[in-house]
Structure 1
Amino acid sequence: MTAVEATPAPALHRDRRFRTFWIGETVSQFGDRISELALPLIAVSLLAVTPAQVSVLTALIWLPNLLGLFLGAWVDQRTHKRRLLIAADLIRAAVLLSLPVAYLFDAVTLTQLYLVALLTGAGAVLFAMARQAFFVALVPRSAYVDATSKLSMSRSLSFIAGPAVGGGLVQALTAPIAIVVDAVSFLGSALLLGRIPVTEAPPPPRRSSTLALVREGLVLVFRHPVLRAALGCTSTVNFFTFIATALLVLYASRDLGLSAGAIGIALGGGALGGLAGAALAPRVSRAIGLGRTAMIGVVLFPAPLALTALISGPTWAKVAMLAAIELVSSVGVMLMDVNLNALLTAVTPDDARGRRAGAYSAVNYGIRPLGALVGGALGTTIGLRPTLVIAGLGGTLAVFWLLASPVRHIATIDDPVA
């Protein structure tokens, strides 16, 4: 072990730059939770959409990830990643504000909802591609797991309070007006990012075309044993969980008869598991190893979704059951995400972070629209409850990618196996 590796991770909560970045991400995450509830509720309540139409709405949010192949290569050639992050925030704020404006003039249409979903998705992809390089400029390697855990805790907190607040805002103000909160959160994130002093290293001299850089990103992801296994795992689990995600609000609203506020309370209560999972992930990883912790999370994440089909009884029982299922699932997703994301950051070369993220996201997130569309088709043909069972059980198959790879032997990000 080198002297650098032996140095303990710094106290990130005392680092003003990371703290500002952390606050900005937290603000934005809370706004996102409101829109994730409000967008499908606009479609369901104002436009009376079918299961297939609401699945298309979910699919369009993730479809721009297919552009990540080219966007990641382009981002690698840019020096000022912070400017790209700010631009992504401002684009999403402007697009979201178009919805309340249209609502005030009684002009909201399904076409506009589709465009908002597509453009906010594109902004999210740009942010994600630039975020990788910005993250490593702020955080030392020894603190990757700790920093990822802290950011994931904020995400989990947003899932706890965001849906409940979002449900209340939707009921009090209507869904289109509630979306203003998300737009404001992006403006806040952009403001905070602008206050972070950071030295961004210029990219190496460009020796390849954009298409060649895209190919390099794909080759890196598919040939590296850790990256390949992680991609296969997360893509599989994303495909199946998005079969459920595309239909969950529709199922809770129509089949279970829950109000927007009740749905928000159930999802928010269940998200407590995400907070616990994010906090526990570094400790569990140190105790049993990074790879084993990730594999436990991969199973715990989708499996409980199958039980969603069994929810019945009075309203309080439905809310409690939905919250319990979401709680266990949220623990699982954090055990998986915190450890795999830290591992991906550690094994990616510094000069290839954008194109690696682009290639990885194009497959990992690009498969989500397919899962959403399959969910809509299955929900229409065989019903919502059987579709949720297929989603939960199918998602557990993702663990076999890690079992058949070096990941299961990796104890820490500095493990030679990595």
Structure 2
Amino acid sequence: MRFHSQHGWACCRSKFCLSSVSCAACKTSSGALIGPGLAGGLIHVLTAPFAIVLDAAAFLLSALLLRRVVSRNDVPHANEGHGVWREIGEGLKLVWQNRTLWGLAWLAGTWQFLHHMQVAVLILFATRDLGLSAGAIGLAFACGGAGCFLASATAQRLSERLGIGNVIVHGLILTAFGWQAFGLIGGPVWAATLALGGAMLVFDFGAVLYGINYLALRQAITPDRLLGRMTATMRFFTVASAPLGSLVGGALATAIGLRGTLLTVGVLGLVLSGAAVMWSPVRRHRTLPAPAAE
């Protein structure tokens, strides 16, 4: 599904990796800036089912455009024919034995778990507790798109000044503050809309800042031949935790309410950030290493 994570990142190495990922994120954030507001308007005018049909048509158009991409693979495959299970084992071994990759894996997996706890309840909180319309929610999410754009435009400069590991940790902290802010929103509809938009801006700025540097670092320290196996392994760790987070978020909301769940996610996000500072080797990386050898 995420074509660029396998194909696009294969075209960049350490010297240009951070700028390449930033440029890709900048293009993606343009859609995040426009899409939510457009979706809110379409839902208001055409109702949700028609908006979903248009969304599906946009995915079909994207797939047709991707068919036009020409791919060239210059990486030799010395062990072709050894089977998928051996390749899975190589990916697991690489991530387990590399302290930085393992640190990135547990950070990303835990973050995805918490993020999907929040995703499971945020829209319900906005509609039921705050009384926001689809248009107001779309406007708030468009503010998040602005945060994505700002992060992608400043990620390389911040990484050069603060160090790539520090930016990853600070990005995690900003997402935790965003989660915490979601649970504190209240008041009249206009104020709640502005507050949700501000919280989305902070959250998405931190998430994209963290994501750009996370992708660039894991790309730089992995040998070319193992990039696909590393990506598959890391994606398994992160994606596998997402449905578990949604289940826990829904169950927790049933027990303590939507607002209490969002506040809990914010606190746990700050705990994750503290763990990254204290125990993860990721924070020690100030610059991207040279391209990894076999």
Q: Secondary structure at the match of 2:212?
A: helix
- Specify the alignment match of 1:107 in structure 2: none
Tell whether 2:129 aligns with 1:255: yes
- Specify the alignment match of 1:210 in structure 2: 84
- Runs of 4+ residues deviating >4 angstroms: 415-418
Residue deviations 1:65-108 (CA, integer Å, cap 9, x gap): xxxxxxxxxxxxxxxxxxxxxxxxxxxxxxxxxxxxxxxxxxxx
- Specify the alignment match of 2:147 in structure 1: 273
Tell whether 2:246 aligns with 1:369: no
Q: CA deviation at 1:250?
A: 1.0
Tell whether 2:288 aligns with 1:413: yes
Per the alignment, do residues 333 and 173 of structure 1 end up closer, same or farther by CA in structure 2, a change over 3 Å counting? same
RCO greater where, 1 or 2, for CA within 8 Å and sep 6 or more? 2
Per the alignment, do residues 132 and 312 of structure 1 end up closer, same or farther by CA in structure 2, a change over 3 Å counting? closer
Per the alignment, do residues 349 and 297 of structure 1 end up closer, same or farther by CA in structure 2, a change over 3 Å counting? same
Query: Equivalents in 1 of 2:5, 2:246: separation in Å?
Result: 26
Query: Equivalents in 1 of 2:78, 2:55: separation in Å?
Result: 37
Query: Equivalents in 1 of 2:32, 2:272: separation in Å?
Result: 24
- Specify the alignment match of 2:42 in structure 1: 169
Q: CA deviation at 1:409?
A: 2.1
Contact 2:41 2:135 in 1 (8 A): yes
Query: Equivalents in 1 of 2:252, 2:233: separation in Å?
Result: 29
> How many residues are paired up?
291
Per the alignment, do residues 416 and 353 of structure 1 end up closer, same or farther by CA in structure 2, a change over 3 Å counting? closer
Q: Secondary structure at the match of 1:397?
A: helix
Q: Structure 2 length as normaliser, TM-score?
A: 0.91
Query: Equivalents in 1 of 2:36, 2:228: separation in Å?
Result: 31
Residue deviations 1:28-56 (CA, integer Å, cap 9, x gap): xxxxxxxxxxxxxxxxxxxxxxxxxxxxx
Tell whether 2:31 aligns with 1:158: yes
Q: CA deviation at 1:403?
A: 4.0
Equivalent positions of 1:47-126 (< 5 A) are: 124=1
Residue deviations 1:373-412 (CA, integer Å, cap 9, x gap): 0000010111111110011110122232354233222122
Q: CA deviation at 1:416?
A: 9.5
- Specify the alignment match of 1:62 in structure 2: none
Tell whether 2:63 aligns with 1:190: yes
- Specify the alignment match of 1:328 in structure 2: 202
Tell whether 2:54 aligns with 1:181: yes
Contact 2:143 2:197 in 1 (8 A): yes
The two structures, once aligned, show a CA RMSD in angstroms of: 2.1
Query: Equivalents in 2 of 1:351, 1:270: separation in Å?
Result: 36
Query: Equivalents in 1 of 2:256, 2:6: separation in Å?
Result: 44
Q: Structure 1 length as normaliser, TM-score?
A: 0.65
Point out where structure 1 has 5 or more consecutive residues left out of the alignment. 1-123
Contact 1:311 1:322 in 2 (8 A): yes
Query: Equivalents in 1 of 2:32, 2:10: separation in Å?
Result: 27
Tell whether 2:156 aligns with 1:282: yes
Q: CA deviation at 1:289?
A: 1.0
- Specify the alignment match of 1:401 in structure 2: 276
Alignment match of 1:390 (pick from 255, 259, 264):
264
Contact 1:241 1:302 in 2 (8 A): no
Q: Secondary structure at the match of 1:151?
A: helix
Tell whether 2:213 aligns with 1:339: yes
Contact 1:236 1:397 in 2 (8 A): no
Contact 1:238 1:364 in 2 (8 A): yes
Alignment match of 1:234 (pick from 84, 89, 108):
108
Tell whether 2:241 aligns with 1:378: no
Q: CA deviation at 1:415?
A: 5.9
Query: Equivalents in 2 of 1:417, 1:356: separation in Å?
Result: 13
Q: Secondary structure at the match of 1:302?
A: helix
Query: Equivalents in 1 of 2:287, 2:54: separation in Å?
Result: 39
- Specify the alignment match of 1:307 in structure 2: 181
Supply the AA of the counterpart residue of 1:411: R
Percent identity over paired residues:
36
Contact 1:232 1:398 in 2 (8 A): no
Q: CA deviation at 1:301?
A: 1.1
- Greater shift in the superposed pair: 358-367 or 380-389: 358-367
Per the alignment, do residues 143 and 317 of structure 1 end up closer, same or farther by CA in structure 2, a change over 3 Å counting? same
Residue deviations 1:163-193 (CA, integer Å, cap 9, x gap): 1100111111121211233223223323332
Supply the AA of the counterpart residue of 2:224: D
Supply the AA of the counterpart residue of 1:392: G
- Greater shift in the superposed pair: 353-362 or 374-383: 353-362
- Greater shift in the superposed pair: 196-205 or 227-236: 196-205
